[in-house]
């Protein structure tokens, strides 16, 4: 999924490892300090810094699609 396709209230998050492995996560803005798949957001958001364009975490994508299709 492209980052530009995220609906308002969601954003991308990824540490260096997720940037390198093309598995950036999805998080709800202002919701808590974890991504949709419960990955802690304890590091710098390297996915944003590196301007990653694709969300790659399959668990986050599944949860996001379930939430948006309710």
- Domain range annotation of the chain: 3-68
- Give strand pairing partners of 31: none
Alpha helix locations (H) across the chain? 16-20, 46-49, 58-68
Contact of 41 with 24, CB cutoff 8 Å: no
pLDDT tens figures, 24-44: 999 998 867 999 999 999 999
Residue 70 has pLDDT above 80, yes or no: no
- Average confidence score pLDDT of the chain: 94
- What confidence score (pLDDT) does residue 31 get? 67
- Spatial distance between the Cα atoms of 26 and 3, rounded to a whole number of angstroms: 9
Contact of 52 with 6, CB cutoff 8 Å: no
- What confidence score (pLDDT) does residue 68 get? 84
User: And the tokens for 58?
Assistant: 């399959």
pTM score, two decimals?
0.91
Residue with tokens 């810094």: 49
């Amino acid at each position: 999924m492209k980052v530009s396709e995220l609906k308002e209230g969601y954003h991308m998050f990824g540490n260096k490892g997720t940037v390198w492995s093309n598995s950036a996560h999805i998080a709800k803005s202002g919701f808590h300090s974890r991504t949709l798949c419960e990955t802690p957001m304890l590091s710098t958001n390297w996915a944003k810094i590196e301007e990653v364009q694709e969300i790659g975490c399959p668990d986050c994508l599944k949860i996001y699609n379930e939430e948006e299709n309710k």
